[in-house]
Amino acid sequence: MKGETLLRVEHLTMRFGGLTAINDLSFEAKAGDITALIGPNGAGKTTVFNCITGFYKPSEGRIALAHGGEQAFAAVEEATARGARTVTVGDGAIHLLERMPDFVVNQHAKVARTFQNIRLFSGMTVLENLLVAQHNVLMRASGYSVFGILGLSPYTSRQKEAIELAKLWLDRIGLTDRADDPAGDLPYGAQRRLEIARAMCTKPVLLCLDEPAAGLNPRESLELNTLLRTIRDQDGTSLLLIEHDMTVVMEISDHVVVLDYGVKISDGAPTEVRNDPKVIAAYLGVEDEEVAAVEAEVEGRA
């Protein structure tokens, strides 16, 4: 499993009217990796996330996610031709995310996400937030409310299991003491962690984090790194993250993709990317005479 391709984004293009936010972007994310998506402001990182998680429908391109190993990719052409959203291959399956509505991406393709501006259910308790994330499992257990309303048994035991899972995550993010407090009352760093835990309660294969370290102090940032590593190593969930904090990116990511103006300008291991002149140019700016050279080079690649 580890090291095999999990997510394959091919020729992804997203246009908003006349504006091309992403232009012919292709990259891969491997299972068991932390893949970082970086780039200057307005590079189109969040748009890529929104396409992967089904919030936007891409103008062009294919986003394929494999369950149960990369041999599932064998069926990707067949799925595309058939117009199917999901094709099962042996034990696994291939999911074409660009064809799915947002909630199906989470429900069936098992891709969870967090948001740049935290989106917790602030008027609900921390525990309730983690239970809402297990909605689909609990909804089936409650017989779509029919058995649940009569108080029949499968629901009660399933709810207990759901609370156990929530307790496990509360323990991992250090919020057990605040389980019964409203989520909106938590300090900022704790809200960030809770949002990650909530996404993890949907038991995803791929977790997309949109700037998880934004607004965290150095200590919280370190804790976050540990949390993300344990998610990668213990839970078997691969991560895709957008991050501006380069210390976080360089420290924890296994693979970095750099975007600028909707175009991929670099792709590789963190050390390679850090020394890539195009990346340095995009982040720091370049002398006037160099701009033309860099542009020509970028153009040539695209």
Partner 1 sequence: MAAVPQSTAATAATSVPDRLMAAVKDAGFATIVTLGLCIPLVTLRTDADEGGRLTLIPRFGLTAVLCLLVFLARLGYLTIWGKEARASRRPPSRGEAIKTVAAPRYTLTSVGLPIALGFAIAYPALMTLANGGLSEARYWIDLGILVLTYVMLGWGLNVVVGLAGLLDLGYVAFYAIGAYSYAILSTTFHLSFWICLPIAGILAATWGVLLGFPVLRLRGDYLAIVTLAFGEIIRLVLINWVPVTNGGAGIASIPRASFFGIPFNDDDNGFAALFGLEFSPMHRIVFLFYLILALATLTSIVTTRLRRLPVGRAWEALREDEIACRSLGINTTTTKLSAFATGALFGGLAGSFFAVRQGFVSPESFNFLESAIILAIVVLGGMGSQIGVVVAAVVMIAGPEMLRNLDFLKTIFGDNFDPNEYRLLIFGLAMVVMMIWRPRGLVSTREPTVFLKERKSISGDLVKEGHG
Please state, in angstroms and rounded to a whole number, the distance separating the CA atoms of residues 210 and 112.
11
Q: Which of 9, 21, 65, 127 binds partner 1 (CB under 8 A)?
A: 127
Is 253 a residue that touches partner 1 (CB under 8 A)?
Answer: no
Q: Is the dihedral of CA 177, 183, 186, 187 positive or negative?
A: positive
The residue count for the chain? 302
53, 191, 238, 266: which one binds partner 1 (CB under 8 A): 53
CB closer to partner 1 out of 14 and 199: 199
CA 189 to chain centroid, in Å, comes to 19
Please, what is the minimum distance in Å from the beta carbon of residue 256 to partner 1?
24
For the CB of residue 37, give the shortest distance to partner 1 in the complex, in Å.
17
Q: How far apart are CA 36 and CA 29, in angstroms?
A: 9
Reduced DSSP (H G I as helix, E B as strand, rest coil) percent helix, strand, coil of the chain, to 5: 45, 25, 30
By CB under 8 A, residue 267 contacts partner 1? no
**What backbone phi and psi angles, to 5 degrees, belong to 13?**
-130, 135
Closest CB to partner 1 among residues 112, 252:
112
Residue 136 makes contact with partner 1 by CB under 8 A: yes
Q: Which residue among 45, 192, 198, 232 contacts partner 1 (CB under 8 A)?
A: 198
Pull the structure tokens for residue 270. Answer: 């963190």
Q: Count of CB atoms within 10 A of residue 18's CB?
A: 5
Which of 78, 161, 185, 233 is in the footprint of partner 1 by CB under 8 A? Answer: 185
Instruction: Answer yes or no whether residue 182 interacts with partner 1 by CB under 8 A.
Output: yes
**Conformational region of residue 10, where left means phi above 0, alpha means psi within -120 to 50, and beta covers everything else:** beta
Out of 139, 222, 280, 286, which residue is the one contacting partner 1 (CB under 8 A)? 139
CB of 258 to partner 1, least distance (A): 25
Cβ closer to partner 1: 152 or 293? 152
CB of 161 to partner 1, least distance (A): 13
Beta-carbon-side half-sphere exposure of residue 115 (alpha carbons within 13 Å):
7
> Is 67 in contact with 110 (CB distance < 8 Å)?
yes
In order, the DSSP letters of 237-255 are -EEEEE-S-HHHHHHH-SE
Q: Is 188 in the site for partner 1 (CB under 8 A)?
A: no
Burial class, 192, CB count within 10 angstroms (exposed 0-12 / middle 13-18 / buried 19+) = buried
Build a one-symbol-per-residue string for 87-126: x at contacts with partner 1 by CB under 8 A, - elsewhere. ---------------xxx-xx----xx-x---xxxxxxx-
> Is 138 an interacting residue with respect to partner 1 (CB under 8 A)?
yes
Can you tell me the distance from the alpha carbon of 139 to that of 146, in angstroms, rounded to the nearest whole number? 10
Nearer to partner 1, 139 or 250 (CB): 139
- Closest approach of partner 1 to the CB of residue 260, in Å: 27
Q: Which residues bind partner 1 (CB under 8 A)?
A: 53, 55, 102-104, 106-107, 112-113, 115, 119-125, 127-128, 131-136, 138-139, 142, 144-145, 148-149, 151, 155, 159, 163, 167, 176, 179-182, 184-185, 198-199, 202
